[in-house]
Amino acid sequence: MGGMADVHALGDRARPVTLAGERTLPVLPPLEALVPGGGGLRRGSVVVVAGQGATSMAMAVLAGASRAGSWTVAVGVPTLGLAAAAELGLDLERLVLVAPPPANQWSTVVAALVDAFELVLTRPTTRVRPGDARRLEARVRERGGVLCHLPGPGSGLARDRAWPSAPDLCLTVTTTEWRGVEPGPVGAGRLRSRRVVVEVTGRREASRPRTAELWLPSPDGTVTLARPARATSTAAPPVEQAG
């Protein structure tokens, strides 16, 4: 066993120091306070985005890394609004779309893509089997990408059921409010901005639920923070620590 100890000691000396920032993928600055762990998406994590406005939220979450040079692949999201993706900051030059695979090939296809792409956005047509989910989680962890999961359309899956095991990070849009359309009988104005309340839960650092209010998008088209993230519990800690 002495030999093994020597090897470990040597490994400690020779292994390059990995900073926490290198184990994360960047997110847009307004979302930094939302995600735990050094202001970026932790590599190798599964993110579930749910609620009304989930599609925009998911695109905003991936936009930072896409802008920084990661390739994105969207599997089984034929309805993805590409103009909206570009407006929210996804780089279309590094975006590939894959048509919805048949249910029996879903996990094979997603696994092949997780192997090669840093950002994978999926929307399964049926429930994800626990075994598939476990294998995909392991694959994602090994490859260091991020799998962003949108619960199926109209599947009525509750947020905690969308992914069979607890996801590393779960962003749920609980309230949305559109601005710009004026109420009344004349139909004046147009949709300009949306204020959303996002609840963040997850595992490890993210296990304390927090909420934040975002403009998604703000009237000038960008994603901005309307009210900083804070712990959902009653005794709110100072904002700086929460971030």
Please work out the total of residues on this chain that contact other proteins, with binding judged by CB under 8 A. Answer: 57
> Which C-beta is closer to other proteins: that of 208 or that of 222?
222
CB of 208 to other proteins, least distance (A): 27
Q: Which residue of 27, 28, 80, 147 would you call a contact of other proteins, by CB under 8 A?
A: 80
Contact segment (CB under 8 A) with other proteins among 1-9, 14-22, 132-140, 185-193 equals 185-193
DSSP annotation string for 111-164: HHHHHH-SEEEE--SSPPPHHHHHHHHHHHHHHT-EEEE-PPTT----GGGSSS
* Closest listed residue to residue 44, CA positions, set 108, 123, 139: 139
Q: Which residue of 21, 81, 130, 131 would you call a contact of other proteins, by CB under 8 A?
A: 81
- Return the CA Rg of the chain: 19
CB of 57 to other proteins, least distance (A): 9
CB of 73 to other proteins, least distance (A): 8
Contact segment (CB under 8 A) with other proteins among 22-30, 91-99, 159-167, 224-232 equals 91-99
CB of 159 to other proteins, least distance (A): 16
Q: Applying CB under 8 A, does 226 fall inside the site for other proteins?
A: no
* Closest listed residue to residue 210, CA positions, set 34, 63, 83: 34
- Phi then psi for residue 28, to 5 deg, are -60, 145
Q: Are 159 and 185 in contact (CB under 8 A)?
A: no
Q: Applying CB under 8 A, does 149 fall inside the site for other proteins?
A: no
Cα 178 to Cα 196: distance, rounded to the nearest angstrom: 9
Q: Applying CB under 8 A, does 28 fall inside the site for other proteins?
A: no
Site for other proteins in 107-126 (CB under 8 A): 108-109, 112-113, 115-117
CB of 58 to other proteins, least distance (A): 9
Other Cβ atoms within 10 Å of 131 Cβ, number: 10
Q: Are 55 and 100 in contact (CB under 8 A)?
A: no
Q: Applying CB under 8 A, does 47 fall inside the site for other proteins?
A: no
Q: 225 to each of 33, 42, 212, 216, how far by Cα in Å?
A: 9, 21, 8, 9
Q: Which chain residues interact with other proteins by CB under 8 A?
A: 52-56, 59, 69, 71, 78-88, 92-99, 101, 105, 108-109, 112-113, 115-117, 154, 175-178, 180-183, 185-194, 217, 221
